[in-house]
Amino acid sequence: MTAPTNILHVIYSLDPREGGMSEGLRQICNAHARLEQAFEIATMDAPFAPWLESVPGRVHAFGPVSSRFGYNRNLRPWLDQNVLRFTSVVIHGLWQFHGLATHRALRGTGVPYYVFPHGMLDPWFKRAHPLKHLKKALYWNLLERRVLEDANGILFTTDDEARLAPQSFPLGKCKSLTVGFGIDTPAGVDRVSADNFVSRWPECKDKRLMLFLSRIHEKKGCDLLIDGFAKAAQRDERLHLVIAGPDEQGLKAQLEAQAKRLGIATRITWTGMLTGDDKWSALKAAEVFALFSHQENFGVAVVEALAIGLPVLVTHPVNIASAVVAKGAGFADEDTQVGAARLIHRWLDTSTSEREDMRARAVACFKALFHSDATTQRLVQAIHANHPLSAAS
């Protein structure tokens, strides 16, 4: 028999500043609502957090919490009283209290659960932060390993993410399920004009804008982007770089110093985090989108660019890079200084007519692979297929 759908999603935070995981769950829930699939959300956010106002469905907010671990004494009792209302549970993210509490609350209940790591098992973190990895290894052996091993499935966005994950920690007893990830067609974007962005940042007027739209974080390769841009900037004086995103780690001053040293400080506009119409206006004003990450299990901003017909330049560790290239919607290269420069030079070598063709292919790529209705259906189908009721039939 087919298991009914009533899913509880458990996550640390839905704050947009948390990046792709929070936005991804928001998109999943939007699709749940359109597809009339029952769902609820449990989060460690404070009940009065402003970003919860636009989240669809019923949200149970147990915060605020005082640490990144997210310990909260109210979550476990609520789970104990409510988990039997749900046919399945999805834990979003690793290394935090909400996953451990959910695992313990579900023991012996018969309610299946799934873990969605959202890239947190990528081996890049092991290489980039060996000391942090040692701390995670201790936590893994003590607690997290059981959370994953007892799950009915580990949900991955791409086959590449699933392939790389065991390089961080052994997943021999875990069942891997590739379900994809997506976003909705941007609502109301047609009413937004590129002029809105240019009027706010007039130095961008009549320029060929290359847009970075993400968190300013070490894994995002902003230093590679600035270095590659500097190597190509002399080819066209109208080329201008826009870096839009929150400065989570205090890296902006260091990156500004790099740009000044390379002689391109006046050719970069720093906007801070952009949301809503400001974000879509920036995407419309841009000629190309660039994300030169060292690790990216999906890349929500990449898909947002594709959705409005913006070609993308990405590095191979962006796990959807091969799909984007296969659809002719962008270019990909190594996450090195050489690769970054090569990507930008390749874009400048692309003819006007080919760039226009790529814009059409970008939209087609989004519709075929990354629309949230299709990817959320795949998520629900994977849950159904691995539900104990389905397995017993």
φ, ψ of residue 291 to 5 degrees: the values are -140, 105
For 248-297, the pLDDT digits (tens) are 889 999 999 999 999 999 999 999 999 889 999 999 999 999 999 999 98
Chain-wide mean pLDDT for the chain?
Answer: 93
Mean pLDDT of 35-49: 96
The two three-digit tokens of residue 141, written as one number:
């052996």
Packing angle of the helix pair 20-34, 300-307 (nearest 10 deg): 50
How far apart CA 59 and CA 10 sit, in angstroms, is 10
Could you identify the residue written with the tokens 């404070």?
A: 46
> 79, 98 in Cβ contact below 8 A?
no
How far apart CA 168 and CA 18 sit, in angstroms, is 22
Packing angle of the helix pair 20-34, 372-385 (nearest 10 deg): 80
The amino acid at residue 64 is P
For residue 390, pLDDT over 70 is answered with no
pLDDT of residue 4: 58
Q: Residue 11 in 3-state DSSP?
A: strand
pLDDT of residue 53: 93
The two three-digit tokens of residue 229, written as one number:
């841009």
Sheet with 268-270, strands from edge to edge, namely: 268-270, 239-244, 208-213, 288-291, 312-315, 330-333
393 — pLDDT class (breaks 50, 70, 90): very low
pLDDT of residue 301: 92
For 189-229, the pLDDT digits (tens) are 888 999 999 999 999 999 999 999 999 999 999 999 999 99
Sign (positive or negative) of CA dihedral 380, 381, 386, 389: positive
pLDDT of residue 64: 94
What's the pTM value of the predicted model, to 2 decimals?
0.80
Could you identify the residue written with the tokens 């809503």?
A: 276
The two three-digit tokens of residue 46, written as one number:
């404070």
| Buried residues in 193-218 as b, exposed as e (16+ CB within 10 A) | ebeebbeebeebeebbbbbbbbbbbe
Beta carbons within 10 angstroms of residue 49's beta carbon: 18
- The number of helix segments (H) and strand segments (E) in the chain equals 17, 13
Of the candidates 294, 227, 295, the one whose C-alpha atom is nearest the C-alpha of residue 263 is 227
- Can you give the three-state secondary structure of 106-173, one letter per residue? HCCCCCCEEEECCCCCCCHHHHHCHHHHHHHHHHHHHHHHHHHHCCCEEEECCHHHHHHHHHCCCCCC
pLDDT of residue 248: 80
Rg of the chain over Cα atoms, rounded to whole angstroms, equals 21
The more confident residue out of 22 and 2 is 22
CATH number for region 189-369: 3.40.50.2000
Mean pLDDT of 376-389: 85
CATH fold for the domain made of 6-184+372-392? Rossmann fold (3.40.50)
The amino acid at residue 366 is F
Reported for 272-279, long-range contacts at CB under 8 A and 24+ positions apart, including other chains, are 272/244, 272/245, 272/246, 272/247, 273/16, 273/17, 273/244, 273/245, 273/246, 274/213, 274/244, 274/245, 275/16, 277/188, 277/192, 277/196, 278/196, 278/197, 278/200, 279/213, 279/244, 279/304
For residue 320, pLDDT over 50 is answered with yes
DSSP string, 44-113: SS-TT-GGGGG--SEEEE----SSTT---TTHHHHHHHHGGG-SEEEEESSSSHHHHHHHHHHTTT---E
How far apart CA 142 and CA 140 sit, in angstroms, is 6
374 — pLDDT class (breaks 50, 70, 90): confident
Within the chain, all domains assigned CATH 3.40.50.2000 are found at 6-184+372-392, 189-369
pLDDT of residue 389: 62
pLDDT of residue 117: 95
DSSP string, 21-43: HHHHHHHHHHHHHHTT-EEEEEE
pLDDT of residue 249: 86
Of the candidates 350, 349, 327, 331, the one whose C-alpha atom is nearest the C-alpha of residue 340 is 331
